[in-house]
Amino acid sequence: ALMVVDSGHKTGYFKDYKYLVTTTRTGHQIIFLDRKQELDSLLYLVFLSIIIFVLGLSVIFVLLWFLSKPIIEPVIENIRKQREFIANASHEIKTPLSIISADTDVIEIEHGKDEWTSSIKEQIVRLNELIKSLLTLSKMDAVMPKEISTHFDIAEVVQNTAEDFRPVATNEDINFSVNMPDNPVPFDGNIEGVEQLTSVLLNNAFKYTPKDGVINLRLSKKGRGVILDVTNTTDQMPKGDLKRLFERFYRDDSSRSRQTGSYGIGLSIAQAITKQHKGHISAKKLGDRTILFRAVLNPNG
């Protein structure tokens, strides 16, 4: 009782007793209530709940351990077969395309070049690009980042890739600017993947940027990773959810895509590359005529 009074609290717990302190004319009156049975019951309930929770998780884990493999195996097998089909079909299509291309050259030699032979060659180029893109996607689905990681200066790789688009910008009267960090940016990743990511984003920007438009490429550091931004002006802003732009074979405007030769694969390749580098890619509208594509890449290691 003296310890309760010295604590200065009017109510609370002292060991297994709940107490209430009241002040009278002659001193303090303290009422103690034995709560040992209730407290023991509560502890027993908590302990029992923990045991049931652990047993329940164990049962679920055992069930998943034995059932997940037969459930997931068909899905894995289906994905594997899809990759094999894409690879095999792509290789098989290359042979007739080569024959068609050779036959077209013979026709042009014997009868001269005309709009029909030119159209055939254009379609052969488009089909070859489609095959190349499909093989790239299939390869990226199968290869893990750690198997393709090397140490390099990512700023130099992005800069060199961007310089290949200078003639295109000059020919189409497009204001093309590149902003790089002042110092080298060491990075662990896939050099070919970074080159292709840069090429895909710039190629996409040049396809939809009108004459006298503006394209800006910017590389900046973010911790141990980097941010690659490609901004371009456009006459026809994509409609709906911009996340769909990264879906395979998605085209916002079919007629416009046919005119530019797009199959809706390029941005899905860009997304696959960013995922390989533990990052992500996004698109954002900056007003009515400007769109930003941002790829965040993190080192593999």
Q: Is the dihedral of CA 109, 114, 117, 121 positive or negative?
A: positive
Residue with tokens 């095959």: 131
Residue with tokens 């002040």: 23
What confidence tens digit (pLDDT) does each residue in 62-95 have?
A: 888 887 778 777 877 777 777 777 777 777 787 7
DSSP 242: G
What confidence tens digit (pLDDT) does each residue in 180-230 have?
A: 998 999 999 989 889 989 999 998 899 889 988 999 999 999 888 999 999
**Dist CA 187 CA 124 (whole Å):** 37
pLDDT > 50? residue 56: yes
Higher local confidence (pLDDT), 229 or 139: 229
**What share of the chain has pLDDT > 90, as a percent?**
30
DSSP 243: G
Q: Is the dihedral of CA 36, 37, 43, 46 positive or negative?
A: negative
Mean of the pLDDT values across residues 32-60? 90
Q: What is the model's pLDDT at position 251?
A: 60
Helices 266-276 and 191-208, axial angle in degrees (round to 10): 150
Largest interatomic CA distance in the chain: 127
| Token duo for residue 11 | 């109510």
Strand partners, 296: 227, 280
Confidence of residue 111 (pLDDT cuts 50, 70, 90): confident
Nearest residue to 20 (alpha-carbon basis) of 11, 28, 29:
11
Q: What is the model's pLDDT at position 65?
A: 82
Q: Are 228 and 295 in contact (CB under 8 A)?
A: yes
Q: What is the model's pLDDT at position 192?
A: 86
**Dist CA 211 CA 172 (whole Å):** 6
Could you tell me how far CA 213 lies from the centroid of its own chain? 28
pLDDT > 60? residue 271: yes
Q: What is the model's pLDDT at position 282?
A: 93
Q: Pick the most confident of 6-15, 23-32, 35-44, 167-176.
A: 167-176
- Residue 204, SS3 per DSSP: helix
**Dist CA 177 CA 162 (whole Å):** 9
pLDDT > 80? residue 43: yes
Instruction: Tell the burial category of 23 from Cβ atoms under 10 Å away from its Cβ (0-12, 13-18, 19+).
Output: exposed
Confidence of residue 250 (pLDDT cuts 50, 70, 90): low
Residue with tokens 């107490």: 19
pLDDT > 50? residue 144: no
- Kind and range of the H or E run holding 112: none
Confidence of residue 256 (pLDDT cuts 50, 70, 90): very low
